[in-house]
């Protein structure tokens, strides 16, 4: 499960970096963190059969969701 979260971090940082470099956007850490949460939840929800947390639960307390899965 942590591997999926790690890949979501890498994917988001890479895409955000590209937006900053190639689209002249500003660095927005808050936006990047929100995208990590969303992308990791989407990937886990799609691939893990025992992952039954709502997006709200994931946003509020991701660490607890990881520990109890």
Residues near 61 by beta carbon (within 8 Å), at least 6 away in sequence: none
User: Rounded to two decimals, what is the model's pTM?
Assistant: 0.83
Tokens, residue 41: 């939840």
What distance in Å separates the CA atoms of residue 19 and residue 66, rounded to the nearest whole number? Answer: 30
**Of the candidates 2, 8, 42, which has an alpha carbon nearest to the alpha carbon of residue 53?**
42
* Segment 41-56 mean pLDDT: 93
Q: Is the pLDDT of residue 69 over 70?
A: no
Please give the pLDDT value at position 67. Answer: 84
How far, CA to CA in Å, does 15 sit from each of 3, 9, 40, 54? Answer: 18, 10, 14, 25
With beta carbons less than 8 A apart as the criterion, state whether 56 and 37 touch.
no
Q: What is the pLDDT of residues 13-48, one digit of tens each?
A: 999 999 999 999 999 999 999 999 999 999 999 998
């Amino acid at each position: 499960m942590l591997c999926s979260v790690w890949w979501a971090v890498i994917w988001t940082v890479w895409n955000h970096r590209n937006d900053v470099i190639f689209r002249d956007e500003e660095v927005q850490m808050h936006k990047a963190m929100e995208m990590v949460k969303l992308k990791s939840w989407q990937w886990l929800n799609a691939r893990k059969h025992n992952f039954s947390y709502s997006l709200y639960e994931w946003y509020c307390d991701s660490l607890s969701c990881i520990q109890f899965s």
